[in-house]
A and B are shown apart, each in its own frame.
Chain A
Amino acid sequence: MTNSTKPEPQHVAGSFRDPNGFMFRREGQLYRQVNRQYREHYERLMESGLYESLVNKGLLIPHKEVSLSLAVTGEAYKVLRPTQVPFISHPYEWSFSQLQDAALLTLRVQQRALEAGMVLKDASAYNVQFWEGRPVLIDTLSFETYREGEPWVAYRQFCQHFLAPLALMSYVDVRLSELLRVHLDGIPLDLTSRLLPARTRLNFALATHIHWHAKAQRRYAGEAIQAARPPRKMSRTAFLGLMDNLSGTVRKLKWQPQGTEWESYYEITNYSDAAFQAKRELVAAFLAQINPRPRLAWDLGANTGVFSRVAAEQGLLTISWDIDPAAVEKHYRALRAQGETRILPLLVDLTNPSPALGWAHTERASLLDRAPADVTLALALIHHLAISNNLPLPKLARFFRQTGRFLIIEFVPKRDSQVQKLLASREDIFPHYTQEDFERAFATAFTIRAGESIPETERTLYLMEAK
């Protein structure tokens, strides 16, 4: 079906495992090819009312069927144009509640699918994205016709992608979500079983879904399913029981954001209320000056997102990056409670940001692969990078040049009490950390459009435009 007069399609790198179809782009527009072998399942999804009910509830990304002439290969049965999620995030960038909500979404979709005689054939956390403040399933080809008696084919994947990291974050340490960055198909259950405390063996759900599950994997490793003589069929009631149990188990896992370095950051800043308000107004004024009107902002070092909200109030979709799991968790919970849909809080360590991962380094895009934003906010951040992490100013300028076209950045001088705190425990080896050096370094990559002192502070806020 390839039409040579049309612009060349580009395959989307992360979409190649499922032979039922794949994602591709033509002239920047995202499409999904559905192959003929998926026809029966696609028809059931659309005709059973399942698609409509999931889309109406905001659980599945909507799509439109478009001309088959857009297809890439001859196996095509349909070409779909899905609503494009404006920003793709990865599960290792999510806070505890984000991963928990994504897990519950997957189970909710599964339960509705069963009512329509379908089942999820995969349960990858990468099939979930945050769209307008809520998790949504983005893989339309995840459904297949349910056959009475069959167990859930994606059970292992669900446990590895969702249950294992959530249990580790809840019972051991929230930072263990970073294991998802190493294990792209979810955290291996034998590893999870070894890391979880012994008391989790007394929890029936975790004992079965993690510990016994890991044992069974080891016991039957390399054996074919038929040879292992499965004990019986799995009834529909048993299937529903399994889903209900997984859902209850996920819901019961808890993590309270506390005890991390940045958790009470705003309570310990050196800003007076008036200075804080002045800074807010200055950020708003700089954002309003940007021409053409920005649509996407990245707030780097956003903490719980006070300044992300300033951008969101001006209608910008704002990605709020922060290094601290507690800050991201608090921010997400607050946004969810308020129904704020224009901000997406995510975890990142800017000194070691999400790399390009997976097959041929192309499956999961790096932080900078997903840049540039229209505007980067770097507020009360530069001293942490330049002094705590020894990053030279010219390197910082080059980095921010890649994250966004415009930059709103706060310079925090050495005499500021926060910088003094950073220097209290170490020798001052930063003779070039001065306002003049800062301006000189950034002027190589940016044109400085404005610079204003923040009242009642030693700090200066700049608006810059990439050269």
Chain B
Amino acid sequence: MSRKNILEIILGVLVISFVFPPYTYAYLDPGTGSYIIQLLVAGLLGAAFVIKTQWNHIVQFFKGLFGKESDDQQHEA
């Protein structure tokens, strides 16, 4: 293994440990597959959540404009 390869590996490990969240101590095994699928879908669900809350704001705005009282106001998180 060349010195360049070793350097690449060390660099790779450093990048991974800084970029990715630390795998913290937890008594529960999160499961690698569960961890990965979560990361994959959560971005999408996060975007959907933002759109949903924004949409609710728009709906509330127009309801307010037309003087309608809302009975199920959503709180923005």
User: Taking beta carbons and an 8 Å cutoff, which residues of A are in contact with B?
Assistant: 17-20, 111, 114-115, 121-122, 147, 149-157, 159, 208, 212-213, 215-221, 223-226, 228-235, 237-242, 244-245
Contact = CB atoms under 8 A, between A and B. Distances in A.
Nearest to B32: A220
B6 interface: no
A161 to B, nearest CB: 12
A225 B32 contact: yes
Q: How large is the interface on B (under 10, 10 to 19, 20 to 34, 35 or more residues)?
A: 35 or more
B67 interface: no
Contacts of B50: 237, 241
Given A147-B22, A155-B38, 9 more contacts: A20-B27, A151-B30, A151-B38, A208-B37, A217-B34, A226-B23, A230-B20, A237-B49, A237-B50
Contacts of A228: 32, 35-36
Contact of A121 (B28, B43, B77): B28
19 contacts: A20-B27, A150-B22, A151-B21, A156-B30, A208-B41, A212-B41, A216-B37, A217-B34, A220-B32, A223-B32, A225-B23, A230-B20, A233-B19, A234-B38, A238-B45, A239-B42, A241-B47, A242-B38, A244-B45
Interface in B40-63: 40-50, 52
The 3 A-B pairs of least Cβ separation, nearest first, read A238-B46, A241-B49, A217-B33
A274 B50 CA distance: 60
Contacts of B52: 244
B26 interface: yes
B65 interface: no
B11 interface: no
A152 B45 CA distance: 14
A234 to B, nearest CB: 5
Given A239-B46, A240-B77, A244-B52, A234 B39 contact: yes
A175 B61 CA distance: 46
Contact of A153 (B28, B37, B42): B28
Nearest to A234: B42
Most chain B CB within 10 A, of A147, A150, A159, A224, is at A150
Nearest to A245: B45
B46 A235 contact: yes
Nearest to B12: A229
A121 to B, nearest CB: 6
A223 to B, nearest CB: 5
Most chain B CB within 10 A, of A19, A114, A154, A238, is at A238
A224 B35 CA distance: 10
Given A237-B49, A241-B46, A157 B28 contact: yes
A245 B41 CA distance: 11
Contacts of A19: 27
Contacts of A237: 46, 49-50
Contacts of B33: 213, 215-221
A228 B34 CA distance: 12
A155 B34 CA distance: 7
Nearest to B45: A241
A18 B46 contact: no
Given A121-B28, A241-B47, A231 B40 contact: yes
B42 A241 contact: yes
Contacts of A114: 77
A368 to B, nearest CB: 31
A120 to B, nearest CB: 10
A216 B39 CA distance: 11
Contacts of A223: 32
